[in-house]
Amino acid sequence: MYQAMILEGVPRSLQSRGRKGRKAYMRWIAAAYAGKCGGYKFESLIPLYARIVIFESLHVTGGGPDVDNIAKPILDALKGEAYQDDRTFARLYIERRDLEDVETGMEALQMDESVLADALALASDSRAKSFFYVEIGADESAEFIFHRRS
């Protein structure tokens, strides 16, 4: 069981200045989850994983925030929305892929069709300089990259 969504924009860093902006960012993440994933809430006792993939035009964003500072604001935003306790997270996987690279790969079969459609729309939109994929699921398998279909 997993939930996934694509969000447009540059993910915000834990180190970003401005509490007000951070709160707005977290509200935006929570609202997106409610809209795209139907507000699904994982059981409190099962171990979870999170996967975050940032697709961005590095020459435009300048590399964006460090990947190690990206996860916490996203997971904090989803606390109470998708899960109850941070300690249920057993694994976290974050990567950055350069949209300006001559080759960008997507594991299309592992992404839900609606999520892939969102990703394709943004990948083909020259105005979209950054988007990111967020996936949370039950950590029941070693194969969790873009999650296995059932």
Partner 1 sequence: MDSVGSHLERAKILEIRDRLAAEGYRVQEEAPATGPLRYDLLAEKGGRRIAYEVKYVDHLRDSKDEVLRIRRAALEQGLDDLKLIIVRKPRQVSMHIDNLENALYEHAVRARLDWAGNLPAGTQVEDVHDVAVNSITINAKGTRVQGDGMITVEIGPGKEPDSFESFPLEYSIVLGHDMRIASVEKFQVDTSSFVQ
CB of 116 to partner 1, least distance (A): 7
Report the interface residues with partner 1, using CB under 8 A.
59, 100-110, 113, 116-117, 120-121, 123-125, 149
Nearer to partner 1, 67 or 120 (CB): 120
CB of 57 to partner 1, least distance (A): 10
**CA–CA separation, 106 and 97 (whole Å):** 10
How, if at all, do strands 130-138 and 2-8 pair?
Answer: antiparallel
Beta bridge partners of 89: 48
Nearer to partner 1, 46 or 106 (CB): 106
**CA–CA separation, 84 and 78 (whole Å):** 9
| Strand order through the sheet with 89-98 | 2-8, 130-138, 48-56, 89-98
CB of 100 to partner 1, least distance (A): 6
Nearer to partner 1, 73 or 137 (CB): 137
